[in-house]
C-alpha cells in the first residue's frame, strides 16, 4: 500500500466542512471579542487535529491482524458476533478498542482479504466505553474472509457524542491490511471479532496505533494464560 503524498489528504474529507465552519465562527467572534476569538481558535485547531489522517507503516503478513483504530484496548472477551453478519451464536474473541476525542478516528482494514457482508444498524448512543454499546449503539458491521481463510468481523460503533459513521467499503472488495476505509465522528469504539483459537498479542489497557499495532496472529500458538470473560 503506497502512502499518501498529497498534503490535502492529511485531513480526512469528512473534516473539511467542520474546520471551515469553526474558522468562520472564529473570525466572527474575534471581530467582537478577542477572548472569544481565542477560545474559538483553540477549538478550530482541535477540530483539524481530530480529523488528521496520518500515514502508517503496516506490518506485512497474512497471518497478522493489526488494530483497525487508534485507542486503548478496553476489553478482551468471548462474545457472539453481531447477528446481522450470519456467523451464528458461537462465541468469538472480541477485542474492543475505545477511541477518545484526541485519538485519530480514521479506521483501517485489520488484515488482507475480501469483504463478504456489510450491515448498518441504527441504534442508541450510549457512552462507547460501556459494554452494552456493542449491542445497542449505532454500528456498521463488516464481515470479511482473510487471505489465510479465516472469517473475522470488525464493527464501527458510535459513541455518546458521535453522530455519523462513514464506511467506504462495498461487498466484494479485495482489501489490504492497513488501508483506510472509514471514520467515526467523534468519541467512539471499534470491536473486532476473531476465531476462538486465535493468538492475541495485546492485553487490556494496551494503547494501539491503527494500521500498525499487531493485535493477533493466526499462526502463533494460542496463549493459554490469557483469561477471557464470556458475554
Annotated active-site positions, please? Answer: 188
Cell numbers 455518546 correspond to: 160
For residue 75, the cross-strand partners are 96
| Three cell numbers written together for 118 | 456489510
CA angle 167/22/44 to nearest 5° reads 90
- CA separation for the pair 117, 168 (Å, rounded): 13
Nearest Cα neighbor of 166 from 228, 107, 101, 229 is 107
State yes or no: cis peptide before 200, omega within 30 of 0: no
Dig out the grid coordinates for 125 from the structure.
448512543
In the chain, how long is the greatest CA-to-CA distance? 64
Q: Please state, as a whole number, how many other Cβ atoms lie within 10 Å of the Cβ of residue 106.
A: 23
Amino acid at each position: 500500500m503506497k502512502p499518501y503524498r498529497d498534503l490535502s489528504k492529511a485531513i480526512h474529507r469528512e473534516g473539511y466542512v467542520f474546520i471551515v465552519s469553526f474558522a468562520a465562527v472564529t473570525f466572527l467572534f474575534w471581530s467582537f471579542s478577542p477572548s472569544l476569538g481565542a477560545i474559538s481558535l483553540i477549538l478550530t485547531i482541535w477540530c483539524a487535529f481530530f480529523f488528521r489522517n496520518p500515514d502508517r507503516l503496516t506490518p506485512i503478513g497474512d497471518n497478522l491482524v493489526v488494530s483497525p483504530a487508534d485507542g486503548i484496548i478496553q476489553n478482551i472477551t468471548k462474545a457472539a458476533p453481531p447477528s446481522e453478519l450470519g456467523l451464528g451464536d458461537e462465541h468469538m474473541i472480541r477485542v474492543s478498542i475505545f477511541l477518545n476525542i484526541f485519538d485519530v478516528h480514521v479506521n483501517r482494514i485489520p488484515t488482507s482479504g475480501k469483504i463478504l457482508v456489510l450491515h448498518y444498524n441504527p441504534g442508541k448512543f450510549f457512552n462507547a466505553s460501556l459494554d452494552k454499546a456493542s449491542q445497542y449503539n449505532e454500528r456498521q458491521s463488516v464481515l470479511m474472509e482473510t487471505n489465510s481463510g479465516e472469517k473475522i468481523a470488525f464493527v464501527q460503533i458510535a459513541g455518546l457524542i458521535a453522530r455519523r459513521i462513514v464506511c467506504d467499503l462495498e461487498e466484494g472488495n479485495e482489501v489490504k491490511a492497513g488501508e483506510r476505509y472509514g471514520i467515526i465522528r467523534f468519541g467512539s469504539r471499534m470491536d473486532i471479532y476473531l476465531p476462538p483459537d486465535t493468538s492475541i498479542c495485546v492485553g487490556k489497557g494496551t494503547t494501539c496505533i491503527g494500521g500498525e499495532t499487531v493485535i493477533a496472529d493466526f499462526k502463533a500458538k494460542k496463549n493459554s494464560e490469557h483469561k477471557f470473560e464470556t458475554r
